[in-house]
Amino acid sequence: MRTLTDKAERLSPAAYWELLVNLTKREVKGRYSQSFFGVAWAIAQPLATMAVFTIVFARVAKMPSDGIPYPLFAYAALVPWFFFSNSVASGTLSLITYRNIVTKTYFPREIVPLAQVCSRFIDFFAAAALYALLMIYYRIGLGPWALLAPAFFLLLILFTVGFTMATSAMNVFYRDVNPVVQIALQLWLYLTPVAYPLSATGKYRPFFVLNPLSAIVEGFRSSIVFGRAPDWTLVAVSGAMTLTLFTAAILMFKRMDKYFADVI
């Protein structure tokens, strides 16, 4: 005879993995299935921003690009930036969006914001494919330092997941977190060396070093575009901050998720 308990039955890790995959597929299909241009929208966003930055910063403001074509310079940073920005923007609202399953079914709640991040992989790789074509067009070849690009992509994922976990959990309890995040992302773009090199920040460089995304975008540029070693001090600071944020965000999320069903 089976005894009933007040605790939900836990599923196997394979079942949770399947849930993550299904939620990720649902996000991708919902975003592109009824769109005329489909995944091309993933390319349009960084491409349009690159065009605006080229006119404003390269042509009008005469911003240096360290000796490479400015469109290539800007696009190399816009690809990781939009992966981060779009993941956080949708991930912050994810627990509220999926309130029906959050309140009725037991599963690790971190799967919900994590699915938002995973659904942006297709955007990242689609935009990266166009970047490869730009490198061919400008006749820029890859050097041995390009092998470091996956390491910077991993750093980008860890920082994005950690930040998204934190904002999604806080947004359950304080709904004004979302508009604050949206405003912060708009400002953050210009406080990250995307449209300009880190070398152009002058005396304000220490403040930019404290931005983990600075090392990530500069790392992508150094390894792929310039074919040189990254600034290891910058990478070390970013890595330490990213791991701290990621660990703290996971711990905070797990402490708060037991209250999600009651508050949401």
Question: Does the pLDDT of residue 2 top 50, yes or no?
Answer: no
pLDDT value at position 107?
86
Q: Please say whether the beta carbons of 262 and 99 come within 8 A.
A: no
Q: State mean pLDDT over 88-104.
A: 92
Least confident of 17-31, 70-84, 176-190, 214-228: 17-31
Question: Does the pLDDT of residue 6 top 50, yes or no?
Answer: no
Please state, rounded to an integer, the average pLDDT across all residues of the chain. Answer: 91
pLDDT tens column, 98-155: 998 888 888 899 999 999 999 999 999 999 999 999 999 999 999 999 999 999 999 9
Percent of the chain with pLDDT over 90: 76
What is the 8-class DSSP label of residue 169? H
pLDDT tens column, 35-58: 767 778 889 999 999 999 999 999
Among candidate residues 236, 229, 233, 231, the one with its CA nearest the CA of residue 144: 229
Q: Please say whether the beta carbons of 146 and 76 come within 8 A.
A: no
- Which residue in the block uniquely carries the two structure tokens 């394979």? 14
Structure tokens at 258: 């037991």
| Confidence label for 10 from pLDDT (cuts 50, 70 and 90) | low
- At residue 2, what is the residue type? R
Q: State mean pLDDT over 15-40.
A: 84
Scored b (16 or more CB within 10 A) or e, 129-144 reads: ebbeebbeeeebeeee
Scored b (16 or more CB within 10 A) or e, 1-36 reads: eeeeeeeeeeeeeeeeeebbeebbeebbeebbeeee
Cα 254 from Cα 173, distance rounded (Å): 14
pTM more than 0.85:
yes
Q: State mean pLDDT over 215-244.
A: 96
Question: Does the pLDDT of residue 195 top 70, yes or no?
Answer: yes
| Confidence label for 14 from pLDDT (cuts 50, 70 and 90) | confident
Percent of the chain with pLDDT over 70: 94
3-state secondary structure of 38: coil
Cα 264 from Cα 261, distance rounded (Å): 6
Backbone torsions φ then ψ of 152, nearest 5 degrees:
-70, -30
Least confident of 2-16, 39-53, 176-190, 199-213: 2-16
pLDDT value at position 209?
94
Question: Does the pLDDT of residue 1 top 50, yes or no?
Answer: no
